[in-house]
Amino acid sequence: MDFLQAVFVTPFVEIWESPFFFIELVLVGLSTGVLYSLVALGFVLIFKASGMFNFAQGAMVLFAALTLVGLMEHGVPLWAALILSMAVMVVLAFVVERLMLRYLVNQEGLILFMATIGLNFILEGTGQLFWGSDVKRLEIGIPDKPFDLGPILLNTFDVTAAFIGAALVVSLAIFFQKTPMGRALRAVADDHQAALSVGIPLKTIWIAVWTIAGIVALVAGIVWGAKSGVQFSLSLIALKALPVLILGGFTSVPGAIVGGLIIGVGEKVAEGFWGPAFGGAIENWFAYMLALAFLVFRPQGLFGEKIIERV
């Protein structure tokens, strides 16, 4: 009884009584959600272009952030470190294509998925091998000051992060819809062989898309890292992008954004109001359970298309 009360009554009473706390939680959730969206975007990009579920996206975030911080620790100025990190991500895209992707053309999705789990471990290992595994602070000069917006407490950092995320999303959307490269990417995603046969250079496309995903990972890594330090847990946070994808659909850029925001807000609000009923720390699994419920009722996600199977 007490438990039911704590789940079905108390939280709503609390929301009613302290609406500003609720709104604050929503805003905090949104700012976390933007970060989830950033990570999820990287997944969507690669999935669209190669039908590959890139489990290593999280490790790429960690790897990119570690490279940047590592360079800065060696006295490289921020702008140079940024350029160098980007270069590293480009090189990574080349290496991944050269050593892995080209041997896996036309393999089943499951094999590709497992291969990226392997890549995930390689990147985590290499990143930490070079730059160490202790927590590093990333100072990139985003102001982190609280300010009031009416009765609600906000943070300049979160607002900046949201803007960065939005800018990235808009430019990606334009890239996919309006450029010839974007069209080629979508063709490749549909069918490798068919794309090859109309003369789309598969290898170039792959390198391009992994580069973009790498740069998205770098941005995500910078924002996450500046917020909570660069450390191993970054690649775990990236696991949160998986439920985001389930919600948004694997091939939908807007889906990744909306899904990220829903998960971000959902887990903060759930933790804030429902957490006490469950003894706290429900943030760890809330997103997955939400995604699971979604899978059962709407497997194609919010924006995905229903698939008609044929024989």
Binding site residues, another protein, CB under 8 A: 53, 99-100, 103-104, 107, 109-111, 113-115, 117-126, 128-129, 132-133, 239, 242-243, 245-246, 278-282, 284-285, 288-289, 291-292, 295-296, 299, 308-311
Q: Distance between CA 287 and CA 26 in Å, rounded?
A: 15
- We find the least distance from the C-beta atom of residue 107 to another protein, in angstroms, to be 8
Q: Which is nearer to another protein, 86 or 105 (CB)?
A: 105
- We find the least distance from the C-beta atom of residue 278 to another protein, in angstroms, to be 7
- We find the least distance from the C-beta atom of residue 172 to another protein, in angstroms, to be 22
Coil, strand, or helix at residue 55?
coil
Q: Distance between CA 100 and CA 97 in Å, rounded?
A: 6
Q: Is 237 left (phi over 0), alpha (psi -120 to 50) or beta?
A: alpha
Amino acid at 67: T
Q: Which is nearer to another protein, 39 or 162 (CB)?
A: 39
Q: Which is nearer to another protein, 90 or 295 (CB)?
A: 295
Q: Which is nearer to another protein, 78 or 114 (CB)?
A: 114
Q: Which is nearer to another protein, 12 or 121 (CB)?
A: 121
Q: Distance between CA 168 and CA 260 in Å, rounded?
A: 14
- We find the least distance from the C-beta atom of residue 42 to another protein, in angstroms, to be 15
Question: What torsion, rounded to 10 degrees, do the Cα atoms 143, 149, 151, 153 define?
Answer: -20
Q: Which is nearer to another protein, 56 or 265 (CB)?
A: 56
CA atoms within 13 A on the CB side of 214: 28
Count of CB atoms situated within 10 Å of the CB of 125: 12
Q: Distance between CA 286 and CA 284 in Å, rounded?
A: 6
- We find the least distance from the C-beta atom of residue 118 to another protein, in angstroms, to be 3
- We find the least distance from the C-beta atom of residue 113 to another protein, in angstroms, to be 5
